[in-house]
Amino acid sequence: MDTQIPKGASARPEFKETVAKTTWQRWAQSDIWHSYKSSPVIIVSSLTFAVLVLGAIFSPLLSPYTPFDPSSLNLMNGFTKPMTANEFTGDYFLLGTDDQGRDVLSTILFGLRISLFVGVVAVLFAMTLGVVLGLLSGYVGGWIDGVIMRIADIQMTFPSIMVAMLLYGIGKGLIPPDLRDEMAIWVLIISIGLSEWVQFARTVRGATLVERQKEYVQAGHLIGLTRWSIMLRHILPNVTGPILVIATISLALAIIAEATLSFLGVGAPKTQPSLGTLINVGRQYILSGEWWILLFPSLTLLALALSVNLFGDWLRDVLNPKLR
C-alpha cells in the first residue's frame, strides 16, 4: 500500500501474524479436525490415551503407596480384596493387593510408566534408525541401498516379535550376568527398536526416491547445499505424515511386544515390572480366585493398546487414505 516503507523490516511481523492466524484457522477448518470432532470413538480413545499417559508420568505423585520400596511393604497386606480394608492391618486398597501386599493400583501406575517408556523410546529409536537408513538408502543408492534393503527384506520375513525375542536373547548373552537385571530395560528397548525400523526405512526410502528427482532438489545441488542438509531440510519434511502414522502404529506394536516379552519373562525384570510382568504375576493366581491381580493390569494394557491402535488407524485414514 505505502511504497515509502521498505519491504524488509516492518512488513515481516505483519506477515508472520497473518500466517499464524491462517494456520490456526486452517486447522479449525481442516478435514482432520472435522473428522476428529465427528468420531466419538476417536475422541474417547485419544482421551483414554491422554489419561493413561498422565497417569504414567505422574505415577510417583498419584500412587497411594510406594510398591517397590521393601520397607513400606507389609506381607500381612497380601491378597487384600479390592475396595475393602485388610482384615489384619485395616489398610484400604482401591484395587486390592498382590501376593506380597503391594497395592495393585500403584503397581499398575508404575508398570504403565515402564510400558510406555519402553514403547516410546523403542519407537523413537526405530524411527531415528529407520529414517536415517531410509534417507541413505534412497538418496545415496548404490551398494548402500542394496545392503540396507536386503537386510530389511530378510528381517521382514520374520515377525517382529520373534526378532525382538531373538535380539533380546543375544543382548542378554552379551551382557555380563551380574548386570543383566539392571540393563534389561535397555536391552528390551533396543531389541524392540531394532525389530521395528524396517517400515520407517522403506517409507522414507520410497519418498526420497520420488523427491530426489524433483527440481528443487536438483536446484539445491546447484546452489551448493550439502547432501545432508538437502535430505534433512528438504526431503524429510515431505514424509512427516507417513512417518507419524507408522510411528503411532509402531507404538501400539511396541507396547504389545514389550508386554508380551515381559509376560514371557524375557523382558522387564521383576524389580521393574511393566504391565506384562504384572499380568504374568496375576496369571499365577487365576486358579486360586484372586482375580483382581490379573484383571486390572490386563484392562489397563487393553485400554492402552486399543486406544493407540484406534488412534493410529484413524490417523492413517485421515492423513493418507491411500496407505491401507
Enumerate binding residues for another protein (CB under 8 A): 150, 153-154, 157-159, 161-162, 165-166, 168-170, 172-174, 252, 256, 259-260, 263-266, 276, 279, 283, 286-287, 291, 294, 298, 301-302, 305-306, 309-310, 313, 324
Closer residue to another protein, CB minimum distance, 5 or 170: 170
Closest CB to another protein among 45 and 77? 45
DSSP output for 265-277? TSSS-TTS--HHH
DSSP, collapsed to helix, strand or coil, labels residue 92 as strand
Residue 117 or 168: the one with the smaller Cβ distance to another protein is: 168
Residue 288 C-beta: closest distance to another protein, Å: 10
Residue partners of 62: CB distance under 8 A and separation at least 6: 55, 109
Nearer to another protein, 136 or 184 (CB): 184
Q: How far is the CB of 53 from another protein (least distance, A)?
A: 17
Minimum distance between the CB of residue 276 and another protein, rounded to whole angstroms? 8
State how far the Cα of 116 lies from the Cα of 103, in Å rounded to an integer. 20
Residue 124 Cβ, how far from another protein at the closest point, in Å? 22
Residue 100 cell numbers, joined:
506380597
| C-alpha span between 36 and 65 (Å, rounded) | 37
Task: Give the C-alpha separation, 140 to 90, whole Å.
Answer: 68
Residue 73 beta carbon to another protein: minimum distance, rounded to whole angstroms: 26
Q: What cell was used for 29?
A: 477448518
- Counting Cα atoms < 13 Å in the Cβ hemisphere of 43 gives 8
Q: For another protein, which is the closer residue by CB, 133 or 275?
A: 275
